[in-house]
Structure 1
């Protein structure tokens, strides 16, 4: 995304979890300016820590410490090689990836082409149930790895050339494949990750072995913390700190209190209730930066009461985005009326048209004519600071549609995702998305294609899938964008989700750190941060 994806906190990206407030300045924080000291960064309880199974931002933040991507992105959102020496293709269909020499896993294994092939085949094989399996769909042979009894266990499109070179053959040309390789699912796995070919070793996820700038320090302490320490043999840019304690919080306000008292070094999302005072509380330690996040309310389109686009459109028109953005978020976010973020090429303003216009009278008439339900439930994760805006949205729906509306907080984002995967009834539900890689397609394919990895709403439109596929096969980025825009126009008609807000990073840090940067993907840049 590099890992972006599903986001838990209100400013988006996954957030926060078990409150460790008043736990002192432990975690090996060390003295001021001590390069061997660890820094403490808030996250939520990750859902997973296996690269091909991690599709939320807290897990991806941890993995960004443990792994080095094939490519990363420059300030213009263009890919540049990191662990890869080169990524080339003459036809956008057959790609050759050469690895930089000198990389080793944290257990001493040399990184080779086999480590990428093993990891990608594991992620693509359907019986393994990996959340990010979707990202290998473009590789030749993917279809043979699907179903209850797959025809094959390895992707025919992956071929080893030598220890540091392999080729990837796609089923169709894809102009953005190099850009895509920055995503978490494309990290390698060591031989030690497997107990047998294609079988993940029991316990690997509790102490993942990567080839990045940090290595695990002990095991993942669920609902408490994940600790990593600098890996001295890393051949790339070395971090300026000795380690990171990813501290898990359940309540954003507890994390904020810890930052104020210097018991936590970075909070990636200032709680909404603290936005109005953050500049005073933190001074120049309150910072903002562009983000790729998008906040939506999603419909279970497979449920009869929400199956009509007219019902969905009426609910959208009954919500005053501008008022909530101003009153709840203190203008720290922007109202959204499109399905992709302004940070990517191809963005157009207000693609949902009249569905994004606040019109209570028209909304109520449309809702009643379409037979909308008398009661609406809005489900959200309680560990993400969403209660205030959910309550405000419910109040608007009560007043403008004449319905009963209740908010339902699931304890953790992972809990909500589990219920959604099981298609349990949760009513409307809040979702956040942080891009995986900078492409318009990344806002459309994973979320809305029939087999999208994060399509929790049951939305399916064959014409949408067709346009998305045509865009992926386009010879140039400009041609691809035209197809993606046409696909977005179909979303505007069907409205499986209601775009609400674009986020920006509103973050803060303690007096003990400096050079804190949060990127477009809601990740703290672990190579820039240092002790103050």
Structure 2
């Protein structure tokens, strides 16, 4: 899953941050009975194992169960959390991590350096198929832990990994370990703020390298909350405060992560006071939200990048003129004005404005609405007569998918239809199976605040979230040069040059940059939603 897998799932955004929520089922009577508890709406997570969780819903839950090595301040700089110190050598290749003392998992086990090493080794081992495994690729020894080519035909398919552990991880003592990278990378401290770098307790393993069956339904973390019961799939996940937690202590005693399959149903519950926070108000309710919620309807920046991916293995989309034509056929401004009511902005670049290195309009004419040129290009390239766009219904996407298809029809004179699946994992499973799903709606919330995070996972050869099978050696080389650059300015220059390659090749269509458009009930105060679209679980509190 970590080599070339054209149009197959390798990892979600962590990567792919998919915005889902909706029609609730189940109740949260036990937790709601606690006076100092809150209910936050999410969609059904795909996974709850840190190294296998790469979408926004699971990430939200994990943030309550685990405590990261670092988190990010208002300037997107990493700040120490579970780590007491993180120090690189002069070449930014060997990093020494010292943990804060006296932290425990929710089952009472002390948190040690072994718990990070064991968790990361599990995530990096190719046969475990962890969706976030790619994020360990910078660590020395990663390549030896991967099959030669798990998708190859013939005898090569039988070649297993030659190692089960990362040679770049070394235990120094109970609270100290080192990470040796294959190549220097000055941004490594920021990368370790991502979910897959959480530790796992000894209780997570039935034997070395083997996760206990059912662990995901009741994960044991090192964070401020612990599971109350088990994950009630498609209904709810309840967590309660860990006594005597050594880190930052939340102001509420319990959270019910209430699972929805429909944003409209979640919004109705928000207005009725049955859910306390909704992180994504559906577009059809935006016009009423100010009246319904008053000052409890809020907006804040986030790192969302919404786009459409091309199946580059499909001969119909091999010609770059077809891809550019479809992009030019879309009126982004009209869609943001009329569908999202200005709550999002047109994307005319491949990286978000929230990261250093963003350049407005770097996509150039490829992202400008030009139906005349679009039709000329499309006809010259003999583009397909019908375009299908797959999307999941649990994220409120239908209105803009329909609007976009209408624009494409009008501009190109071809048929365009949306194909709905209940959940994004349903589409991803079809991708894994090699099924033809046409174009696909995707979105990305950054994992860590570097321009590189919008490039490597999404477009590098074999990248973790490269669903489209895109590969360009020049792009790969430029991204690598940026990662190894001596200064942030030099890194940004290389990454901008890599983005220029994307403009030439157009493996995806940039559509919109997002912001958090959220609401909360009269029961709570101190509600904020960050760049990663996560509720701040430490400062939310029940109103007096």
1:7 — aligned with what?
17
2:291 — aligned with what?
280
Q: CA separation in 1, counterparts of 2:539 and 2:434?
A: 41
Q: CA separation in 1, counterparts of 2:436 and 2:118?
A: 37
Moved over 6 A (4+): none
Q: CA separation in 1, counterparts of 2:298 and 2:429?
A: 33
1:15 positional shift: 1.9
1:166 positional shift: 0.1
1:343 — aligned with what?
354
Preserved contact between residue 23 and residue 266 of structure 2 (Cα < 8 Å)? no
1:347 positional shift: 0.4
Preserved contact between residue 29 and residue 38 of structure 1 (Cα < 8 Å)? yes
2:371 — aligned with what?
360
| Paired residues for 1:92-131 under 5 Å | 92-131=92-131
Name the TM-score, length of structure 1 as normaliser: 0.96
Does structure 1 residue 46 correspond to structure 2 residue 45? yes
Q: Secondary structure at the match of 1:5?
A: coil
Q: CA separation in 2, counterparts of 1:227 and 1:414?
A: 22
1:16 — aligned with what?
21
2:155 — aligned with what?
none
Preserved contact between residue 320 and residue 358 of structure 1 (Cα < 8 Å)? yes
Does structure 1 residue 83 correspond to structure 2 residue 82? yes
Q: Secondary structure at the match of 1:210?
A: coil
Q: CA separation in 2, counterparts of 1:459 and 1:17?
A: 33
Preserved contact between residue 331 and residue 369 of structure 2 (Cα < 8 Å)? yes
1:50 positional shift: 0.5
1:295 positional shift: 0.4
1:233 positional shift: 3.0
2:303 — aligned with what?
292
2:143 — aligned with what?
143
1:18 positional shift: 4.2
Preserved contact between residue 40 and residue 277 of structure 2 (Cα < 8 Å)? yes
Number of equivalences = 520
Does structure 1 residue 222 correspond to structure 2 residue 240? no
Q: Deviation string for 1:462-482 (max 9, x for gaps)?
A: 111111111111111111111
1:386 positional shift: 0.1
- Change in 2 beyond 3 A, CA 1:517/1:27: farther
Q: CA separation in 2, counterparts of 1:324 and 1:494?
A: 24
1:162 positional shift: 0.3
Preserved contact between residue 4 and residue 522 of structure 1 (Cα < 8 Å)? no
Does structure 1 residue 28 correspond to structure 2 residue 31? yes
- Root-mean-square deviation (Å): 1.3
Segments of structure 2 that go 5 or more residues without pairing to the other structure are 1-10, 148-158
1:280 positional shift: 1.0
Q: CA separation in 1, counterparts of 2:539 and 2:236?
A: 22
Preserved contact between residue 116 and residue 189 of structure 1 (Cα < 8 Å)? yes
Q: Secondary structure at the match of 1:229?
A: strand
Q: CA separation in 1, counterparts of 2:357 and 2:468?
A: 24
Preserved contact between residue 98 and residue 165 of structure 1 (Cα < 8 Å)? yes
Which of 160, 174, 186 pairs up with 1:175?
186
Q: CA separation in 2, counterparts of 1:40 and 1:179?
A: 30
1:422 positional shift: 2.7
1:475 — aligned with what?
486
Does structure 1 residue 250 correspond to structure 2 residue 261? yes
1:27 positional shift: 5.0
Preserved contact between residue 31 and residue 238 of structure 2 (Cα < 8 Å)? no
Preserved contact between residue 17 and residue 54 of structure 2 (Cα < 8 Å)? no
1:17 positional shift: 4.1
Preserved contact between residue 25 and residue 234 of structure 2 (Cα < 8 Å)? no
1:486 — aligned with what?
497
Q: Secondary structure at the match of 2:457?
A: helix
Q: Secondary structure at the match of 2:299?
A: strand
Q: Deviation string for 1:194-217 (max 9, x for gaps)?
A: 111011110111100000000001
Q: CA separation in 2, counterparts of 1:417 and 1:86?
A: 38
